[in-house]
């Protein structure tokens, strides 16, 4: 076929390419997810249909940009899926091959994104593999097809071009649409495909019959549908098969439109009659002769064909309006705009507080003002919730990638792995999604590679051979909790310690370290316990990336492990990175904001509750607990109002390591605020995670208590 793309008159703008890339990747992702589903339930007809649709749209889009290699590969997948649908090919190998091809398609897309021509690596092999599975290996068929393909190369391009023009024309159907259908029909006439030619004959007849705009408008969906079919037709020509799939329903559709038009225009009615004749012609007549080499259903009597055509056309007809409705209700928005919106809402919230809590209003009795400001508050809160909700996306996209990762791991490692997903519809902030993908992938690989045993080992340990990894997400309070749990061998304390010593990450034997501290060692850069570096993991770059990425979204990782029973990793990420409910406290002249979520209670201690250890560490006895006291003024070197615990306030804070008593001077207030990052790295004080602006315009510091604790541990 001809590789000369310059004859396409269609202009390709950068915006179009960008949109194409986004959509194409999405289509591949969806197709991939559906194929993975098919791995589990190979007979899911609806899923097959979905894959078809995604691949088909993908192919069409590639056609628009004249990416012929991508087109060919996706076309081969499509025909394979159709063969599966028709029961000619078994589902499992076809799905596996399609999955592999999707990878190739991605690479082709990447090539295009990097300015290449969209080259699919080893296209010939890919195509041959797909064809082999489809069972088209007869060399004579291949030869014949290639020769025909060469002949029809020109034709295919002509069709593609015509269909593209017709598609554009369908926006405002005019007399030009008629010309186009006529020229397409003429092209068709030169092919041994009467069915297609008849369809377009009917269409051009119908178009010429309809003079008024209203009835022409009603043709729009039909014409667009025909354009798709025309594309298919052109692709079929590549395979040497000039077949129009079942023209009967198409002609029915056209005659139905003409009937409608006839109600307005009597002269069109005359045309409906011959059309009905075409529609009822026996199937054998309207089937193309050239379709013989293709794997096709045997010629059936008209009735059967029609009923089959109906059932076939039903499922896309059901799916499509839904998808179309959804597409219309969604728009793509630049993330920058969303960020700006969120910032502005934040500003609004601060300004609102600055107005309603203005110091000038202190002591005044203003009932009307109170009412108005209460209303303002409600609106700003709702606006804030909405602005945040806009940024939320379900985590399912990330989870789907994980099922793909497991699919590949299974094949490479030879282990039996089952991945259970839960809570896929949990919604998280966009920025979190972006950051979460890589860490989860690393952790999943680690669990599969280091955590899960080989089937033999598992059998010996009395476990089912199939290892199980559970990945779940849930919103708990103001946090998103993501849990990755495996039923493998669990973390080995002795091996981690040995490795840490070897890598000089610890100096002593580590016998005094708590399990939790030992587990945290695996997040150190360069740490890896795998004895051999495998293809999957073991390069020691995984877990520290995990840690740093999760730090970026202010998240934390907990590890729980039980030898022989498995390990679980719990990632906790604050729901929103931009607002916190906090308690404002004062130490000396510095005001701190403490996230309310961490606060258990506040109290003013009695002197008799206090004990001091020999090294000076103070403890408070609160009911039955003995909790360490952390003096914030010492951590940050501030002159406090008071040094005496019974003159200040103690805030009991739940930290990862357990509760602590934070000693501060006073509590100022409790409020919801916007977190402001500091522009630039100039004053990066440990223990301060950000800033917030108070109602009087003053800045307060947001405390990061985990970091404060690390600070006190060091000193």
Partner 1 sequence: MPSNAKHPVEEEDDLDAQKDKYLTFHIASEDYGIAIVHVTEIIGMQRITQVPKTPPFIKGVINLRGKVIPVMDVRLRFRMPGRDYDERTCIIVVQHNDATVGLVVDTVSEVLDIPKGAIEACSTISRDQDNFVSGMGKVGDSIKMLIDVHRLLFDDTLEKMAAGQNA
Residue ranges in contact with partner 1 by CB under 8 A: 346-347, 350, 589-591, 636-638, 676-688, 691, 693, 697-701
Parallel, antiparallel, or unpaired: how do β-strands 625-631 and 658-664 relate? parallel
Nearer Cβ to partner 1, position 234 or 708? 708
* Residue 640 Cβ vs partner 1, minimum distance, rounded to whole Å: 12
397 versus 588: smaller Cβ distance to partner 1: 588
CB closer to partner 1, 220 vs 641: 641
Between 331 and 683, CB nearer to partner 1? 683
d(CA 504, CA 526): 11
Name which of 285 and 696 has its Cβ closer to partner 1. Answer: 696
- 8 A C-beta contact, residue 398 and residue 433: yes
Using a 10 angstrom Cβ sphere, with 0-12 exposed, 13-18 middle and 19 or more buried, the burial of residue 626 is exposed
- DSSP code per residue over 11-77: ---HHHHHHHHHHHHHHHHHHHHHHHHHHH-TT-HHHHHHHHHHHHHHHHHHHHTT-HHHHHHHHHH
Cβ closer to partner 1: 299 or 344? 344
Q: Under a CB-based contact definition with an 8 Å cutoff, are residues 490 and 579 in contact?
A: no
Torsion of CA 505, 510, 515, 517, to 10 degrees: -40
Dist CA 421 CA 416 (whole Å): 17
Least separation in angstroms between residue 680's CB and partner 1 is: 3
Shortest Cβ 688–partner 1 spacing (Å)? 7
Q: What is the dihedral of CA 302, 304, 307, 310, to 10 degrees?
A: -70
Q: In this complex, which beta carbon is closest to partner 1, that of residue 315 or of residue 712? A: 712
CB of 158 to partner 1, least distance (A): 49
To partner 1, the closest distance from the beta carbon of 638 in angstroms equals: 6
Closest distance between partner 1 and the C-beta of residue 189, in Å? Answer: 60
d(CA 629, CA 645): 10
- CA end-to-end span of the chain: 74
> Whole-number minimum distance, CB 349 to partner 1, in Å?
10
Q: Beta-carbon neighbour count of residue 510 at 10 Å?
A: 18
Q: Cβ 635 to partner 1, closest distance in Å?
A: 8
**Smallest separation, CB 535 to partner 1 (Å):** 39
Residue 325: is it exposed, middle or buried by C-beta count within 10 angstroms (0-12/13-18/19+)? exposed
Considering beta carbons, is residue 314 or 696 the nearer one to partner 1? Answer: 696
Distance of CA 578 to the CA centre of its chain: 22
Q: Which is nearer to partner 1, 63 or 648 (CB)?
A: 648
Nearer to partner 1, 417 or 580 (CB): 580
Which tokens belong to 471?
A: 């990945």
Query: Least distance from C-beta 679 to partner 1, angstroms?
Result: 4
CA dihedral 489, 490, 495, 501 (to 10 degrees): 160
């Amino acid at each position: 076929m001809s590789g000369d793309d310059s004859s396409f008159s269609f202009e390709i703008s950068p915006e179009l390419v960008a949109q194409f890339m986004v959509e194409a990747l999405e289509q591949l992702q969806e197709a991939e997810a559906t194929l993975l589903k098919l791995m589990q339930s190979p007979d899911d007809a609806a899923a097959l249909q979905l894959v078809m649709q995604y691949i088909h749209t993908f192919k069409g889009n590639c056609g628009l940009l004249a990416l012929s290699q991508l087109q060919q590969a996706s076309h081969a997948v499509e025909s394979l899926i159709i063969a599966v649908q028709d029961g000619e090919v078994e589902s499992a190998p076809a799905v596996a091959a399609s999955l592999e091809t999707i990878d190739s398609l991605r690479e082709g897309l990447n090539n295009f994104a990097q300015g290449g021509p969209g080259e699919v690596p080893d296209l010939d092999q890919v195509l041959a593999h797909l064809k082999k599975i489809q069972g088209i290996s007869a060399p004579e068929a291949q030869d014949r097809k290639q020769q025909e393909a060469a002949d029809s190369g020109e034709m295919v391009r002509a069709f593609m071009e015509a269909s593209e023009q017709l598609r554009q024309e369908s926006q405002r159907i005019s007399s030009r649409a008629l010309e186009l259908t006529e020229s397409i029909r003429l092209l068709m006439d030169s092919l041994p495909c009467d069915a297609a030619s008849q369809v377009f004959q009917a269409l051009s007849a119908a178009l010429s019959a309809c003079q008024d705009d209203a009835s022409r408008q009603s043709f729009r969906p039909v014409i667009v549908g025909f354009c798709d079919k025309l594309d298919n037709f052109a692709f079929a020509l590549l395979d040497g098969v000039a077949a129009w799939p079942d023209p009967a329903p198409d002609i029915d559709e056209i005659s139905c439109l003409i009937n409608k038009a006839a109600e307005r225009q009597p002269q069109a009615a005359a045309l409906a009659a011959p059309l009905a004749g075409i529609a009822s012609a026996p199937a054998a007549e309207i089937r193309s002769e050239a379709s013989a080499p293709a794997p096709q259903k045997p010629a059936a009597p008209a009735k059967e064909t029609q009923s089959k055509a109906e059932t076939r056309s039903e499922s896309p007809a059901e799916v499509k309006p839904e998808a179309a409705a959804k597409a219309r209700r969604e728009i793509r928005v630049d993330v920058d705009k969303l960020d700006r919106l969120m910032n502005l809402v934040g500003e609004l919230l601060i300004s609102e507080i600055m107005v309603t809590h203005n110091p000038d209003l202190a002591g005044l009795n203003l009932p009307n003002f109170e009412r108005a400001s209460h209303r303002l508050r409600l609106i700003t809160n709702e606006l804030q919730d909405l602005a945040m909700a806009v940024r939320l996306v379900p985590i399912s996209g990330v989870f789907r990638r994980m099922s793909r990762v497991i699919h590949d791991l299974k094949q490479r490692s030879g282990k039996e792995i089952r991945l259970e997903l839960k809570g896929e519809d949990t919604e998280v902030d966009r920025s979190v999604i972006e950051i979460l993908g890589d860490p989860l992938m690393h952790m999943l690989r680690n669990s599969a590679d280091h955590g899960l045993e080989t089937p033999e080992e598992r059998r010996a340990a009395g476990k089912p051979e199939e290892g199980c990894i559970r990945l779940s997400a849930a919103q708990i309070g103001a946090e998103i909790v993501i849990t990755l749990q495996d039923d493998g061998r669990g973390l080995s304390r002795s091996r981690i310690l040995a490795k840490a010593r070897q890598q000089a990450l610890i100096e002593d034997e580590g016998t005094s370290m708590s399990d939790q501290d030992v587990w945290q060692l695996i997040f150190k850069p360069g740490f890896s316990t795998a004895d051999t570096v495998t293809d999957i993991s073991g390069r020691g770059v995984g877990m520290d990336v995990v840690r740093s990425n999760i730090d970026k979204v202010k998240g934390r990782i907990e590890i729980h492990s039980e030898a022989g029973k498995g390990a679980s990793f719990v990632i906790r990420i604050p729901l929103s990175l931009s607002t916190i409910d906090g308690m404002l406290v004062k130490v000396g002249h510095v005001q701190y904001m403490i996230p309310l979520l961490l606060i258990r209670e506040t109290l003013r201690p009695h002197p008799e509750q206090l004990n001091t250890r020999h090294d000076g560490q103070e403890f408070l006895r609160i009911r039955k607990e003995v909790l360490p006291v952390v003096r914030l003024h010492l951590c940050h070197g501030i002159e406090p109002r008071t040094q005496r615990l019974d003159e200040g306030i103690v805030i009991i804070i739940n930290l990862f390591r357990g509760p602590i008593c934070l000693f501060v001077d006073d509590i100022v207030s409790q409020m919801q605020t916007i977190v402001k990052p500091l522009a630039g790295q100039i004053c990066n004080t440990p223990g301060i995670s950000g800033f917030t602006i108070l109602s009087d315009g003053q800045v307060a510091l947001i405390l990061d208590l985990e970091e404060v604790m690390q600070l006190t541990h060091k000193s």
